[in-house]
Amino acid sequence: MSEEIAIKVRGLTTAYGTHTVHEGLDLDVMKGEVLGVIGPSGTGKSVLLRAIVGLKPPETGTVEVFDQNVTDLSGDDLREVQNLWGIMFQDGALFSNLTVRENVMVPMREHTDLPEPLMKQLADQKLRMSGLDDSAGPKFPSDLSGGMRKRAALARALALDPPILFLDEPTAGLDPITAAGFDTLVRELQSALSLTVFLVTHDVDTLVATCDRIAVLGRKKVIAAGTIEELRRNDDPWIQDYFCGPRGRAAQAGES
């Protein structure tokens, strides 16, 4: 991790109708870190991710990615900046009518003019990097297990070699062993590719296994950010319950 800021969010306010989700939210994601984003259900973790990547225009505030203000971009400018990140949505969001390999090729088709054979080769490479063997490429998403679908979605997020990866609940719905395998993969890829990772999760095991720092959302803002050790010393009741309640203690025991 460097001291350089990869993503800088300042004064972010988002709303749906009269419902304000974030109000004056500030957040820094440092280059090369895995930042976990946690908080009670409905505090706006997914909306924050969507606001950063331009899918939910904010009411006010700015988002800078590598010093470039991405808040007001549209058209070609937005498309260009989208090459800086890959996104793995909560449900994987694979196209069910495309093979796994074709799914990984979708961002390449949208953002590059690479020849078809090279796209196929690169897609297979991303699938292998994500822990799938060559037999997965020609299959349809429905032919894969939940864990394999998550890996395919990760391969698609990595399709354009982005420096930043957004993961929304990557281990949700996986059994603990498959989830642990996915956590290891994320950490290995982060280290091999020097990725900056923004990871929304409820899974305390995932936080312990993958994250350098954690940001806690609550009361429409980031109420705390730091390492797990730092957050364990925070006296906010939700944070105490999260890290020092039974599940947090179990994860801590697994860590030592």
Ligand X SMILES: Nc1ncnc2c1ncn2[C@@H]1O[C@H](COP(=O)(O)OP(=O)(O)OP(=O)(O)O)[C@@H](O)[C@H]1O
Which C-beta is closer to ligand X: that of 100 or that of 215?
A: 215
| CB 75, min distance to ligand X, A | 23
Looking up tokens 């997914």 gives: 46
The size of the interface with ligand X (CB under 6 A), counted in residues, is 10
Q: Which stretch binds ligand X (CB under 6 A): 24-32, 44-52, 71-79, 124-132?
A: 44-52
Q: Choose which of 45, 126, 150, 156 interacts with ligand X (CB under 6 A).
A: 45
Stretch that binds ligand X, among 34-42, 104-112, 179-187, 228-236 (CB under 6 A): 34-42
Only one of the segments 24-32, 38-46, 78-86, 102-110 lies at the binding site for ligand X (rule: CB under 6 A); that segment is 38-46
Does 47 engage in binding with ligand X (CB under 6 A)? Answer: yes
Contacts made by residues 131-138, CB under 8 angstroms, sequence distance 24+: 131/181, 131/185, 132/100, 136/100, 137/99, 137/100, 137/101, 138/99, 138/100, 138/101
Q: Report CA Rg, the chain.
A: 18
Residue 206 as a binder of ligand X (CB under 6 A): the answer is no
**Site membership for ligand X, residue 44 (CB under 6 A):** yes
Q: Report which DSSP code applies to 10.
A: E
| Measured torsion, CA atoms of residues 241, 242, 244, 250, in degrees rounded to the nearest 10 | 130
Give the number of other CB atoms < 10 A from CB of residue 194. 12
16 binds ligand X (CB under 6 A): yes
9 binds ligand X (CB under 6 A): no
- Answer yes or no whether residue 18 interacts with ligand X by CB under 6 A: no
Specify the amino acid at residue 1.
M
Q: Give me the least distance between CB of 43 and ligand X, in Å please.
A: 4
| Contact residues for 244 (Cβ-Cβ < 8 A; gap 6+) | 232
Q: Given the complex with ligand X, which of 41 and 74 has the nearer CB atom? A: 41
Residue 46 in contact with ligand X, rule: CB under 6 A: yes
171 makes contact with ligand X (CB under 6 A): no
Residue 21 is a binding residue for ligand X (CB under 6 A): yes
Helix axes 146-157, 100-111, angle to 10 degrees: 20
DSSP H helical ranges for 85-175: 100-111, 116-129, 146-157
Please select the residue that binds ligand X; options are 11, 24, 42, 138, rule is CB under 6 A.
Answer: 42
Amino acid at 21: V
Binding positions for ligand X, rule: CB under 6 A: 16, 21, 39, 41-47
